[in-house]
Structure 1
Amino acid sequence: MEFQSQDKHGIGLSPFCRITARVDPVVSLGHAAHGERRFVPIIGGTVEGEQLRGEVLAGGVDWQVQRADGTLEIAAHYVLRGDDGALIEIRSEGYRHGPPDVMQKLARGEQVPADQYYFRTAITFQTGSERWRHLNSLLAIGRGARTAGAALIDVFLVR
């Protein structure tokens, strides 16, 4: 993860962790009012960072809308369990898009370098853990990459 110092407005990003969410195949509900409505079951995964390490619990879902303009709207909701036993709810909303040929490769499960498409999310947290309670009042930005069986999200806390 890259570190980005504060800008002239006092806003900065601090590397927090990498979430590797293993996923099942996409399930399409068909074309709805705003595009193809679909979901991706989250079946587990890992969390790795200097402060937070642990696992992604099975049972989360990434709800999606594939818009006519090629943009994928993402609304993922899942839970992390830290090595200390703390449970942290994640809500992550954002977009994934890129050139049509790149997005077709991703859809086929092919490996594509993350710099060839845009995958960003805004992340919020909820937890009752005393150690991690400060996350309840912070925003984070996720920079994502997609593989055939997982979404990899580098999480940066907004300071």
Structure 2
Amino acid sequence: MGLPEPTLTKIAHVHVLLDPVQTLGQTPHGLRRIIPITGGSITGERLSGEILPGGADWQLVHDDGAATIDTRYTARTHDGALIYLATSGVRHGPPEVLERLAAGDEVDPREYYFRVTVRLETGDPRYYWINRAVFVAYAARHPDAVAYDLYTLD
């Protein structure tokens, strides 16, 4: 008996606004950076609303320039439900591309690899389905934001 082939269903586009990077410095795990989240939006048929200020990305940058992504933040849906979002993933690419990203340049996301898993959690019965799904995303880094398309793994 074979297993089903994975398929993806797009749920929403997420646009997360960021404050400037706070660099803590070199730690035993890598260069620790904290990037505060100041707002944003979620736009989709099944899920839409606003990103609330107060979260952050507790990011590690490694010697090769690759970044380990670790974000936690909250959204409020268009109808008032609160949703916790946490992403975990990686961003890497050729050194010259990563340098352009670090300089704040707008870089085509096809030039680097930026993928995350996204855990969503809520107690609101209208959105309880998000507690029971696996989410993945293709992401892009912009000078003052991160954007990603959120998919369920069906």
Verify same fold: TM over 0.5. Answer: yes
Identify the residue that residue 92 of structure 1 maps to in structure 2. Answer: 87
Identify the residue that residue 37 of structure 1 maps to in structure 2. Answer: 32
Instruction: Please report the TM-score for the alignment, with normalisation by the length of structure 1.
Output: 0.93
Query: Does residue 24 in structure 1 map to residue 19 in structure 2?
Result: yes
SS of the residue 1:131 aligns to: helix
- Number of residue pairs the alignment of both structures matches: 152
Identify the residue that residue 110 of structure 1 maps to in structure 2. Answer: 105
Give the percent of matched residue pairs that are identical in Structure 1 and Structure 2. Answer: 38
Instruction: Please report the TM-score for the alignment, with normalisation by the length of structure 2.
Output: 0.96
Cα displacement (A) at 1:129: 0.9
SS of the residue 1:106 aligns to: helix
Identify the residue that residue 124 of structure 2 maps to in structure 1. Answer: 129
SS of the residue 1:111 aligns to: coil
**Residue among 67, 70, 78 paired with 2:73:** 78
Alignment partners' CA distance in 2, 1:86 and 1:25 = 28
Identify the residue that residue 4 of structure 1 maps to in structure 2. Answer: none
Give the letter for the 1:85 counterpart: G
Q: Structure 1 residue runs of 4+, over 4 Å off?
A: none
Identify the residue that residue 8 of structure 2 maps to in structure 1. Answer: 13
Query: Does residue 153 in structure 1 map to residue 148 in structure 2?
Result: yes
Alignment partners' CA distance in 1, 2:131 and 2:47 = 15
How much is the aligned-residue C-alpha RMSD, in angstroms? 1.0
Note the residue ranges of structure 2 that are not aligned, 5 or more in a row: none
